[in-house]
Chain A
Amino acid sequence: MQVTVTVNGTTGSHDVETRMLLVHYLREVRGLTGTNVGCDTTSCGACTVLLNGESVKSCTMLAAQADGEEITTIEGMAAPDGTLHPIQEAFREHHGLQCGFCTPGMVMAIASFLKEHPDPTEAEVREGLEGNLCRCTGYHNIVQAALAVARAGELVS
């Protein structure tokens, strides 16, 4: 079937199998390999992208369901000149990653979370990231990064 999806502001139309998952569409058809597949069972959050601004797990959505919608992936976060998005900058500053595998999903989940909770407590950040697993960091610095962005009030477009 034909799907037309706007990804990071660029609209593209492609003929895909109806059973193609959104994450495979992003990686294989659109060539955007920043979105990772971790568990493939809706648990780890590595595949998190924004659907019309809200976090979703792209391993549990069909490309067909994104037809006509707007998707933002990690590649859409930094400015065109390479300036990091405030969330990415906070991850760098607070050492919010080690291997980096969970990071794209974490950044997208935080972008959505901060839009819904502009002034969160630490406990709210931890609960808000319950859909994202990290095998390396112990979460502490990820939570600090999210709190730093919220405190700086540099919100998230």
Chain B
Amino acid sequence: MIPASFEYRRAGSVEEALGWLAEDPDSTKLLAGGHSLLPLMKLRLATPGVLVDVGRIPGLNYVRDDGDHVAIGALTRHRDLEVSDVARGHVPLLAHVAGQVGDPQVRHRGTIGGSLAHGDPASDLPAAVLALDGTMVVDGPRGRREVQAADFFRGFLETALAPDEMLTEVRVHKAPAGWGFQKFNRRAQDWAIVGVAAVVNGDARVALVNMGPTTLRARATEEALDAGANIADAAARAAEGLDPPSDLNGSAEYRRHLATVLVRRALEEATAARG
């Protein structure tokens, strides 16, 4: 399968990439690791006229200890995040989840920025960043802005990014303990049928993979926990108000059931890890 023709430009800096994006934002796409975009282009589900390759912009592949939070450059590859000492020490959830994405070859190419910007409800890293209450740093022709993860994921493959903007950094609060992650699939290398990222540090944040059009919080579970419910009772409400998809991997009903089981396990993991 061969993508439709396009013009290819390799950006040397964020400024250069933004300049090219601004020329024709609607038919220009940024190319980071290419592990979501190129498969879509090969299937001709995406046919951008111009590809701006940001994959080699220097200085955007880092995992940095910034005091109370950890900053991750948008071009950080899944593999680099998985083995980063800073991530493992201060946000082990993120390092762990990066190591659960696809397979080693995918992790050598895919980037956290691409994963978040793509906005796929089946992706793992968006759920981790949402559970960690992360902040996206976005650069564009109108300057720099910061978007909370809770406001970033808008709908199916839709985020708060405008077509002329680029995600350059992700910031997450340190959470060395009190986390859990559950990913249920039936074949090695597959995407989650349902996944759960949970962070329990005083308050609880529970984010769901593949339980709706975008990455979502299990609000009913969170409210139950805040009100003092035990884990089993709170987890039983995990699918409340949600409308998960039915596909070859499972019906909506099956996903609702999985969500309750996996949320319970993730919360048990999070509270056990907290000790």
* Complex Cα gap A75–B182 (Å): 40
**A65 within 8 Å of B (CB atoms):** yes
With A60-B34, A61-B34 in contact, do A45 and B7 touch (Cβ < 8 Å)? no
Chain A residues positioned under 8 Å from B39 (CB to CB): 41-42, 60
**What is the interface residue range for chain B against chain A?**
20 to 34
CB pair A57–B105 under 8 Å, yes or no, is yes
CB pair B8–A42 under 8 Å, yes or no, is no
CB pair B8–A18 under 8 Å, yes or no, is yes
CB pair B109–A60 under 8 Å, yes or no, is yes
20 contacts between A and B (CB under 8 A): A18-B6, A18-B7, A19-B2, A20-B2, A24-B2, A40-B42, A42-B105, A42-B106, A45-B105, A54-B79, A54-B108, A55-B105, A56-B105, A57-B105, A60-B34, A60-B38, A64-B53, A127-B188, A130-B104, A131-B103
Contact with B along A54-76 (1 / 0, CB 8 A): 11110011101101000000000
- Chain B proximity of A129: nearest CB distance (Å): 8
**B92 within 8 Å of A (CB atoms):** no
Chain A residues positioned under 8 Å from B35 (CB to CB): 42, 60
**Contact check: which of B2, B8, B106 meets A21 at CB < 8 Å?**
B2
- Chain A proximity of B5: nearest CB distance (Å): 6
B43, closest chain A residue (CB): A41
Contact with B along A27-46 (1 / 0, CB 8 A): 00000000000001111010
Which residues of A approach B to under 8 Å, CB–CB?
A: 1, 17-21, 24, 40-43, 45, 48, 51, 54-57, 60-62, 64-65, 67, 109, 112-113, 116, 127-128, 130-132
Chain A residues positioned under 8 Å from B10 (CB to CB): 64, 67
* Complex Cα gap A128–B103 (Å): 8
**Contact check: which of B1, B5, B106, B189 meets A18 at CB < 8 Å?**
B5
CB pair B38–A62 under 8 Å, yes or no, is yes
A49, closest chain B residue (CB): B105
- Chain A proximity of B96: nearest CB distance (Å): 14
**B3 within 8 Å of A (CB atoms):** yes
Chain A residues positioned under 8 Å from B34 (CB to CB): 60-62, 65
* Complex Cα gap A57–B105 (Å): 6
Contact with A along B182-196 (1 / 0, CB 8 A): 000000110000000
CB pair A48–B105 under 8 Å, yes or no, is yes
Chain B residues positioned under 8 Å from A56 (CB to CB): 105, 108-109
CB pair A65–B55 under 8 Å, yes or no, is yes
CB pair B109–A131 under 8 Å, yes or no, is no
